Amino acid sequence: MDWFHREIQLPPFPRGFHLITDQVVRATPEISALEIGLLHVFMAHTSASLSLNENADSEVRKDFKQWLDTIVSEDFPFRHTAEGPDDMPAHAKAILLGSSLSIPIYRGKLCLGIWQGIYLGEHRDDGGNRRLVLTLNGKKA
């Protein structure tokens, strides 16, 4: 079994959900040499999240944002407000969606469903660059 580790920095994204599958795949070209394996993707931040979901219709991303903004309202009386009104709601959204994904690899490709993509959930108005830690393990073909 071979192990690979890489950290990548994503550029700032506006608040919402953004497909980052291509950036992750480009950053791990070793995937193409694996017969079988596992890619672990970790978001090294507390106010952004990772998830897998619909990658075809951009309206889905808008619906996710609207749904999550309704569930975690900035009008809620949060106590942690030192970093601005969007900070604590961003933490709450990140804890709901999670900070890591494990994706199987088979015959040199991520085993994503036909309509699945990797999402960065940016939950702040100005979250800045986001760092991903990519850990890849697998058996070469």
| Tens-place pLDDT, residues 2-32 | 999 999 999 999 999 999 999 999 999 999 9
Q: How far apart are CA 126 and CA 72, in angstroms?
A: 18
Place of tokens 């990140």: 94
Q: How far apart are CA 126 and CA 128, in angstroms?
A: 6
What is the predicted pLDDT for the residue at 36? 98
Instruction: For residue 74, name the pLDDT band (cuts at 50, 70, 90).
Output: very high
What is the predicted pLDDT for the residue at 14? 97
Instruction: For residue 71, name the pLDDT band (cuts at 50, 70, 90).
Output: very high
**Model pLDDT for residues 105-118, shown as the tens digit of each residue:** 999 999 999 999 99
Contact 53, 21 (CB under 8 A): no
- Residue 108, by phi and psi: left (phi above 0), alpha (psi -120 to 50) or beta? left
Average pLDDT estimate for 97-102: 98
What is the predicted pLDDT for the residue at 28? 98
CATH code, domain carrying 95? 2.60.120.460
Q: Which of 135, 133, 130, 102 is nearest to 45 (CA)?
A: 130
What is the predicted pLDDT for the residue at 19? 97
What is the predicted pLDDT for the residue at 140? 96
Q: CA 77, 83, 85, 89: dihedral to nearest 10 degrees?
A: -70
What is the domain count for the chain?
1
What is the predicted pLDDT for the residue at 25? 98
Mean pLDDT of the chain: 97
Domain containing 93 equals 2-140
What is the predicted pLDDT for the residue at 21? 98
